[in-house]
Structure 1
Amino acid sequence: MKKIIVAIDSFKGCLTSVEANQAACEGILAKIPDAQVVQVPVSDGGEGFMEAFQAAMGGEIVQANVKDPLMRPIVAPYLLQGDTAVIEIAKASGLTLLKPEERNPMVATSYGTGRLVVDAVRRGCKHIIVGLGGSATSDCGIGMLRAIIDAFAKGGSWDDVRQLDDVRFTIATDVTNPLCGDNGAAHVFAPQKGATPEQVLALDARAQRFAHVSAKHMGRDCQDMSGAGAAGGLGYAFLQYMQAECRSGISLLLDTIHFDDLLQDADYVITGEGSADCQTLMGKLPYGILQRAQRHDVPVLLIAGRIADEQQLLAAGFVRVACINPPGTPLEIAMQPATAKENIRLTIQNEGLS
């Protein structure tokens, strides 16, 4: 009996990881009815991060009253398992919470993420895992810090916050950018959140000032650490103020689910994402899965809605790279969930896995 692991990232704006995995599973069983299929919901820190960890470690989804990036009241979920919380910052501070015309990183705040942290601490959490993906903000986490101060040190400062002293933070991101400069949060990511070239310069200057003041006050400077530029500088706030450990999102998840143990007797791994190209090889989720599988000599098939740089992907070690969409498929058709599911199913069914 063949054992096939399916671990496909979400197709953003189209399918969740769970939905993509299920479609692939149906394709496998149509071709190999007696196959043992192990479905692994995955995320690298962005969309689906909370759900992937719930599938891995159980727990319950709880709700908290928070603020969106424009300080409007919303209810946001996070995962609670014992004294561990898993927070996906996009649930409170995400770009998808704003209409396109509302996007403005000059005013968007991470305050809501702070409210999620506060809620988790009040429930007794001692380890908080934070997925840093999909943010609408570029405020260096200042909003988040303000929310924590408002809750735990009313009228005081960060130095008066003692409730986090025994709380351990782990941030999950595959962004390695520093906080400031040409490769920093503002220059690289703020334009995607609606920033004009002038605003990018202003945001970067604001980040430099905040980092300078923070370093002077605290006696350490985390602005150049890997991940500091993630989520509009939220990574920096966690590193600087909470001494968080920064982990690759996919590596953290794969360790949590004991992925290496699953690979021991596997015959194939199927992974994928919405669009695959040479950037996939720069630490994105399918590449993290490929690296684990290669250690166990398990072949990996990569599927995607769009494929570029196919030879580079094959040279990296994927045994096959398959585009799920027939040539000439219009984007608006390809992005329909029912179409995407069927195309994944047919692609896998037609692959030589037997």
Structure 2
Amino acid sequence: MRVVICPDKFAGTLTAVEAAQAIAEGWRSVAPGDELVLRPVADGGPGFLEVLHTSLGGDLIEVPTTDPLGRVVTGSVLIVGDTAYLESAQATGLHHLAPGERDPKITTSAGLGALVAAATAQGAHKLIIGLGGSATNDGGAGFLAALGFKPLDREGNPLPPGGAVLRRAAALTLPTSAAPAPPAAITTILPARGVGGAAAGQRWVELVGASDVDNPLVGEQGATAVYGPQKGASAADVVLLDAALANWAAVLQRDLPGCPQDLAALKGAGAAGGLGAAVLALGGRIVSGIDLILTETGLGEAVAEAGVVITGEGSFDHQSLRGKVIAGVAGAARDHGVPCVVLAGRVTTGRREQGAAGITEAHSLVDHFGDVDLAMTAPARGLRELSARMAGQYSRR
């Protein structure tokens, strides 16, 4: 029997790779003759690069960059042929900050610029950026500034980092031919942007953002209202930051050639604190992170040939069924008539929701142990034990 094991990370406890290994160990303890296909998954957030490197191989290049508060950290760029894969959370991720440091009014996405510059320096013609897990809410302003697209106030002064100052954004400077090589290359990121032909030493670069959300930039379902509080935004901060992003979108629409005129309302513009808007403003596109993973890693074909699929994540809740890993995997399994089992740290969805999404059954570590603390401290053990139980139920030994 072929068993496809494709979990997401269990945030704060296990990476997707570690979770897949634990599930495999449990299954083998009961059904050692089954064929296990391990395909750990990510949907654009932390772990995106690790999952792709595990499946695709390629060259993983370390890159010095900065975190959301401007401190030096190390990120990576994965080069596979002429495509570069990047993970924005390596520079903008919430995991870089202690709880007391979380403040989306001042955090910046500038560090992503160093990763993009490194990717273009490697000769990549296509950049695929995982968007998710961010501590920022600056509409990608820091990222754009690092590429030479700097926001200015009414007096023509460059704005400092952060989302709050964007309420004072009044104009945008564009890179010139005298700009350093990486930013100059980004000025011609897509032919569709209509920013002239590539100058000497420049080339067209396709830009794709892979996201697990489709939120717009502003409004009740926007980046700030939905995700700002978990990044440290107070109720007053949410109002301020949402207005700041609306102003920022208007500046981009007016001053950046080729920027979509309905930028703030576009699906995915609110991904990663508005980094999605920056990708769209540069002429790029936003795609479903899990759909991209299914295609890039061949997971879709593996699911079609499986006898059963095992997936999971730390918390299986209503958001899991909106474009995240479990929804994508379960949908693929449903389309091919394959049973899909979810093993999660916690399960708060109902059976009717699960069935509609293509999920055969779901089990949680909290219920398995009967203890929340044990579910957090021994997740690998719990996954091994639950997986062994599933092997006894599904294997055709």
TM-score if structure 2 supplies the norm length?
0.83
1:347 Cα deviation from its structure 2 partner: 0.8
* Separation (CA, whole Å) in 2 of partners of 1:314 and 1:73: 42
Identity among equivalent pairs (%): 37
Contact 1:132 1:231 in 2 (8 A): yes
DSSP 3-state at the match of 1:113: helix
* Separation (CA, whole Å) in 2 of partners of 1:261 and 1:106: 44
Q: Is residue 2:173 matched to residue 1:157?
A: yes
Structure 2 spans left out of the alignment, 5+ residues: 151-157, 159-171, 177-182, 189-203
* Separation (CA, whole Å) in 2 of partners of 1:265 and 1:74: 41
Deviations 1:283-336 (A, max 9, x none): 221110011112211111111111123322442231221123345643332112
Tell me the equivalent position of 1:346: 385
Q: Is residue 2:272 matched to residue 1:231?
A: yes
Tell me the equivalent position of 2:102: 103
DSSP 3-state at the match of 1:135: coil
Q: Is residue 2:301 matched to residue 1:261?
A: yes
1:172 Cα deviation from its structure 2 partner: 0.6
- Equivalent AA in structure 1 for residue 62 of structure 2: Q
Q: 1:327 to 1:30 in 2, by over 3 A?
A: closer
* Separation (CA, whole Å) in 1 of partners of 2:237 and 2:20: 40
**1:320 counterpart (328, 350, 361):** 361
- Equivalent AA in structure 2 for residue 201 of structure 1: V
Contact 2:211 2:271 in 1 (8 A): yes
Q: 1:145 to 1:43 in 2, by over 3 A?
A: same
Tell me the equivalent position of 1:184: 222
* Separation (CA, whole Å) in 1 of partners of 2:73 and 2:321: 37
- Equivalent AA in structure 1 for residue 274 of structure 2: G
1:83 Cα deviation from its structure 2 partner: 2.1
DSSP 3-state at the match of 2:148: helix
**1:199 counterpart (237, 258, 278):** 237
- Equivalent AA in structure 2 for residue 163 of structure 1: A
Contact 1:310 1:321 in 2 (8 A): no
Q: 1:196 to 1:325 in 2, by over 3 A?
A: closer
Tell me the equivalent position of 1:134: 133
Structure 1 spans left out of the alignment, 5+ residues: none
Tell me the equivalent position of 1:93: 92
What is the aligned-residue RMSD (CA, Å)? 1.9
Q: Is residue 2:208 matched to residue 1:170?
A: yes
DSSP 3-state at the match of 1:163: helix
1:119 Cα deviation from its structure 2 partner: 1.5
DSSP 3-state at the match of 1:77: strand
* Separation (CA, whole Å) in 2 of partners of 1:38 and 1:210: 46
Instruction: Give the 5 Å matches for 1:288-327.
Output: 288-316=328-356, 317-326=358-367
1:60 Cα deviation from its structure 2 partner: 2.0
Q: 1:198 to 1:314 in 2, by over 3 A?
A: closer
How many residues align? The count is 347
Tell me the equivalent position of 2:46: 47
* Separation (CA, whole Å) in 2 of partners of 1:260 and 1:229: 27
Instruction: Give the 5 Å matches for 1:208-219.
Output: 208-217=246-255, 218=257
1:24 Cα deviation from its structure 2 partner: 0.9
- Equivalent AA in structure 2 for residue 319 of structure 1: T
* Separation (CA, whole Å) in 2 of partners of 1:279 and 1:109: 26
* Separation (CA, whole Å) in 1 of partners of 2:173 and 2:19: 46
Deviations 1:34-67 (A, max 9, x none): 0000000100111210011112221122111212
1:256 Cα deviation from its structure 2 partner: 0.7
Q: 1:187 to 1:263 in 2, by over 3 A?
A: closer
DSSP 3-state at the match of 1:302: strand
- Equivalent AA in structure 2 for residue 168 of structure 1: E
1:98 Cα deviation from its structure 2 partner: 1.2
- Equivalent AA in structure 2 for residue 247 of structure 1: V
Q: 1:306 to 1:68 in 2, by over 3 A?
A: same
**1:332 counterpart (373, 392, 397):** 373
List structure 1 segments (4+ residues) > 6 angstroms apart after TM superposition.
none
Q: 1:175 to 1:264 in 2, by over 3 A?
A: closer
DSSP 3-state at the match of 1:75: strand
Instruction: Give the 5 Å matches for 1:231-250.
Output: 231-241=272-282, 243-250=283-290
Q: Which moved more, 1:8-17 or 1:50-59?
A: 50-59
* Separation (CA, whole Å) in 2 of partners of 1:323 and 1:201: 37
Contact 2:212 2:289 in 1 (8 A): yes
Tell me the equivalent position of 1:36: 35
DSSP 3-state at the match of 1:44: coil
Q: 1:309 to 1:68 in 2, by over 3 A?
A: closer
Contact 1:108 1:138 in 2 (8 A): yes
Deviations 1:144-178 (A, max 9, x none): 01111189xxx993253541220101101121111
* Separation (CA, whole Å) in 1 of partners of 2:350 and 2:33: 31
- Equivalent AA in structure 1 for residue 109 of structure 2: S
TM-score if structure 1 supplies the norm length?
0.93
* Separation (CA, whole Å) in 2 of partners of 1:318 and 1:264: 15
* Separation (CA, whole Å) in 2 of partners of 1:259 and 1:100: 36
Contact 2:213 2:322 in 1 (8 A): no
